[in-house]
Amino acid sequence: MSQEMTRAESIEEQERARESDKKPKSRRPANTAFRQQRLKAWQPILTPKSVLPLFFIVGVIFAPIGGVLLWASSLVQEISIDYSNCAAQAPTSGQLPVPHYSATFKSSKSISPPTWRRSVNESDSDAITCTLFFEVPNELPAPVFMYYRLTNFYQNHRRYVQSLDLNQLKGDAVPYGTVKGGACDPLAVNSTAQKVYYPCGLIANSFFNDTIGKPQIRDPNSSEKQFYEMTDKGIAWDSDKELIKQTKYNMGDVLPPPNWLWAKDENGAYKEDPNLHENEAFMVWMRTAGLPSFSKLSRRNDTHGMPAATYSIDIVDRFNVTKYDGTKSILISTRTVLGGKNPFMGIAYVVVGGICVVLGALFTVAHLVRPRGACATEDPSAGFLHELGRLKSDEAKYASSQARQAPIEIETWFHIISSKSESTQVTDDMINSQLSILQQSYADSGISYRLQGVTRHTNDKWASNADDVAMKTALRKGSYRTLNVYFQTNLQTSPGQAGRALGHRGAVTNNDLASSVLGFCTLPDPTVNASSPASHYVKDGCNVLAKTMPGGSLDLYNRGGTAIHEIGHWNGLLHTFQGESCSADNPGDYINDTPQQSTPTDGCPARKDSCPDSPGQDAVHDFMDYSSDVCYESFTPGQGERMRSMWISMREGK
């Protein structure tokens, strides 16, 4: 007993061991780029520099293509004659002009309007024969095509398009029970005769049944009838010929569709096989048109041109178009390598091309006359870039030094310069709010600003920055380490600065100026030292559009972010997109913790990655990008360290 229990326990332990050795099943997808959604993606960054040329490129490409299409369409010669009301309006003797027709020929010779006449059909007393008379003033080169054209006939109706039996058309003898209730309803079977319609469905039942004869040459000097030979073979697509095959039905077991005028026996059945697999006119009809007005090929002549002459065509008029307010016409036409006459595509291309060129011109003018606000800070000098490189290598060594960690307080002056018409634009509350935001934005970097004073001045020239040197010579306070910020109501770049603008920040609407900027500032100058005279750095400081102060009138840019951005330049920071390139050779802003970025940010996108092959996404929330104020959040630790290094190296003690 004891041995049996021990053995049983041993077996159970072995089973548990085997189960523990089995790898647990996991539903985690394979660790691949595709399964883990890490595939590389490319997102275009839309800027004026990239979008404006696209308008002109599309216009330059589309307009000539449209011109070529229109030219090709104009080479097509054709005549179209509407005979919808021939049975009611045409005379039984003599001829009267056809009310509706159109003609386009190469010849400049004027032609007489087409005429018509009607008569009772000899073989079908219920039908009317409509005879059309028309002129062809010059020979039409081969190939020449004859079409019938219908209007207001909706072959594209969903129920109509589906109303056929493909197996029937392929030749299968589809039984009564299968056809009944199928796609062909309500014209699938004759329940009285208990027979199938062949071919069944609405498409086949509405088959165009006017009989259009060959064009007859009307030669008064000849007693013999002469015809311009046109065949009804070769008018169907090869794919349609492959679709419709010889039927396996016994003709006594099926009925023709109700509207068909095929020869019938006393029971209403076919007298003979309709041979639909050879009837190309039927194949053409079964290929439904996508629009309610369409043309279908009826006859063609691919070898001989149509001589200049007067012609007549006899048409047995059976197809009733008046009951659905449609029209029917015959169309004789040539073609070009681009097809028949159809100016729509050419007009569409020309219109699209023209619209693109006009929009491109308008946007270009708008961009030049009233551009988006620019940060017009000058490009960094070679000496400044050299100093950046040196500081970048030294920061890692001295980051923990006591001098680098000590708080920095910068003496600051605000100068409010207004035009006479906007002397009350900047309020004390706006000034206080700007200072508060300035302190908050730089607090994490260990930098604070002690406002020494605020000056107010009304001067139209200074408000628009028409004389920057004179303004700063008169107003600048303190030494090189003193920050002077000039809030101007109508700030614009001077002629020398406009060419050195690095880009645009936001959309500016300034009705008083031809061009405006949000701000610009001076970078630290390596050539300035403690003994440099004030005249050497008189232009030092930041110029800021007053409308960008908190509570200003500039939508999206009225939370004080522009001053934070420009003062970042004064502290030695470059744009996060400096160099505007994803190349490994582009040092960017010389700061390690700002991802590489090739384009400025417009607005506040949720995600932007202008350099997808480089680590990290664009720093759209960084003060040194061009994002809108609501998007701004902070400087990176690396930027904070750089500003402190710049202060110690290039401003402290000067």
Q: Does residue 354 register a pLDDT over 70?
A: yes
Q: Does residue 47 register a pLDDT over 90?
A: no
In the annotation, is 13 catalytic? no
Taking residues 329-342, report their average pLDDT. Answer: 92
State the pLDDT at residue 160. Answer: 95
- H-helix or E-strand spanning residue 197: strand 195-197
State the pLDDT at residue 16. Answer: 60
State the pLDDT at residue 25. Answer: 65
Cα(544)–Cα(488) distance, integer angstroms: 6
Cα(344)–Cα(291) distance, integer angstroms: 14
Q: Does residue 20 register a pLDDT over 90?
A: no
| Percent of the chain with pLDDT strictly greater than 90 | 68
Q: Does residue 24 register a pLDDT over 70?
A: no
pLDDT winner (highest mean) among 102-106, 376-380, 498-502: 102-106
State the pLDDT at residue 1. Answer: 46
Q: Give a three-class secondary structure readout of 523-561.
A: CCCCCCCCCCCHHHHCCCCEEEEHHHCCCCCCCCCCCCH
Q: Which residue has the higher pLDDT, 496 or 378?
A: 378
State the pLDDT at residue 176. Answer: 93
State the pLDDT at residue 120. Answer: 87
Least-confidence region, from 233-242, 368-377, 387-396, 536-545:
368-377
State the pLDDT at residue 397. Answer: 62
Q: Does residue 509 register a pLDDT over 50?
A: no
State the pLDDT at residue 487. Answer: 97
Least-confidence region, from 8-12, 40-44, 48-52, 415-419:
8-12
Provide the pLDDT confidence category of residue 418 given band limits of 50, 70 and 90.
very high
Provide the pLDDT confidence category of residue 427 given band limits of 50, 70 and 90.
very high
Cα(95)–Cα(109) distance, integer angstroms: 22
State the pLDDT at residue 517. Answer: 83
Joined tokens for residue 174: 């589809």
Least-confidence region, from 14-28, 242-256, 285-299, 515-529:
14-28
State the pLDDT at residue 374. Answer: 59
| Percent of the chain with pLDDT strictly greater than 70 | 89
Of the options 2.60.40, 3.40.390, 1.10.3470, 3.90.105, the CATH number for the domain spanning 372-574+635-651: 3.40.390
pTM of the model: 0.59
State the pLDDT at residue 126. Answer: 74
Q: What are phi and psi of 189, to 5 degrees?
A: -140, 160
Least-confidence region, from 387-401, 413-427, 508-522:
508-522
Q: Does residue 19 register a pLDDT over 70?
A: no
pLDDT winner (highest mean) among 374-388, 509-523, 592-606: 592-606
| Amino acid making up residue 239 | S
Q: Where do the structural domains in the chain lie, given as residue ranges?
A: 47-76+337-369, 77-334, 372-574+635-651
Residues present in the chain in total: 654
Q: Does residue 503 register a pLDDT over 90?
A: no
State the pLDDT at residue 339. Answer: 86
Provide the pLDDT confidence category of residue 381 given band limits of 50, 70 and 90.
confident
Q: Does residue 135 register a pLDDT over 60?
A: yes
Q: Does residue 297 register a pLDDT over 80?
A: yes
Name the average pLDDT for the chain: 88
Provide the pLDDT confidence category of residue 513 given band limits of 50, 70 and 90.
very low
Q: Does residue 23 register a pLDDT over 60?
A: no
pLDDT tens-place string over residues 81-95 = 999 999 999 999 999
Least-confidence region, from 4-13, 140-149, 485-494, 624-633:
4-13
> Which of these is catalytic: 266, 566, 633, 652?
566
Long-range contacts, 382-388 (Cβ 8 Å, 24+): 383/525, 383/526, 383/527, 384/523, 384/524, 384/525, 384/526, 385/590, 386/526, 387/524, 387/526, 387/649, 387/650, 388/572, 388/574, 388/590
Q: Does residue 373 register a pLDDT over 80?
A: no
State the pLDDT at residue 377. Answer: 77
Cα(373)–Cα(598) distance, integer angstroms: 19
Least-confidence region, from 40-54, 250-264, 404-418, 442-456:
40-54
Query: DSSP strand E in 63-153: where?
Result: 78-82, 96-97, 101-104, 115-120, 128-136, 144-151
Q: Does residue 12 register a pLDDT over 70?
A: no
Q: Does residue 532 register a pLDDT over 70?
A: yes
Q: What are phi and psi of 122, to 5 degrees?
A: -70, -35
Provide the pLDDT confidence category of residue 504 given band limits of 50, 70 and 90.
very low
- Name 642's Cβ contacts closer than 8 Å, sequence gap at least 6: 391, 395, 572, 573, 590, 591
Cα(348)–Cα(344) distance, integer angstroms: 6
pLDDT tens-place string over residues 614-651 = 999 999 999 999 999 999 999 999 999 999 999 999 99
Taking residues 112-124, report their average pLDDT. Answer: 87
Q: Does residue 280 register a pLDDT over 80?
A: yes
Whether residue 199 is preceded by a cis peptide bond, meaning omega within 30 degrees of 0, is: yes
State the pLDDT at residue 343. Answer: 92
